[in-house]
Amino acid sequence: NAGVMQNPRHLVRRRGQEARLRCSPMKGHSHVYWYRQLPEEGLKFMVYLQKENIIDESGMPKERFSAEFPKEGPSILRIQQVVRGDSAAYFCASSPRLAGEPNNEQFFGPGTRLTVL
């Protein structure tokens, strides 16, 4: 049973370009979370999605960032017109249960390390 998969593992973009990060959850998991880890900081929640729905995007910057989790295919985190401050590790996690359930365990992917030149 493959774990959470993310690609690419490393991504380099110039300022103003677009970054697309992909996350395939574990088999049987229909809940996906995105987190960002800035250098020397802890992980911060960005967005929680179920298939075809954004449930909670309270941690996502209002501009330039968007996320989707289509019926078929991976979840995508999209960053438009990247700036140097977007350089970070972006982690995806998945879970088989609703976020509000006490035994809801999240399983993390290896992350995508985005570098903006």
The residues that touch other proteins, with contacts defined as CB under 8 A, are 4, 6, 33, 35, 41-45, 48, 55-56, 58-59, 91, 93, 99-111, 113
In the complex, the smallest distance separating the C-beta of residue 16 from other proteins, rounded to whole angstroms, is 27
Q: Which of residues 17 and 113 has its CB atom nearest to other proteins in the complex?
A: 113
* Residues 6+ positions from 15 with CB-CB distance below 8 Å: 81, 82, 83, 84, 116, 117
List the one residue out of 57, 85, 58 whose CA is nearest residue 69.
57
Question: What long-range pairs does 58-66 form, CB within 8 A, spacing at least 24?
Answer: 60/34
The residue type found at 107 is F
DSSP state of 27: T
Q: Which of residues 17 and 107 has its CB atom nearest to other proteins in the complex?
A: 107
Q: Which of residues 80 and 104 has its CB atom nearest to other proteins in the complex?
A: 104
In the complex, the smallest distance separating the C-beta of residue 102 from other proteins, rounded to whole angstroms, is 4
In the complex, the smallest distance separating the C-beta of residue 29 from other proteins, rounded to whole angstroms, is 13
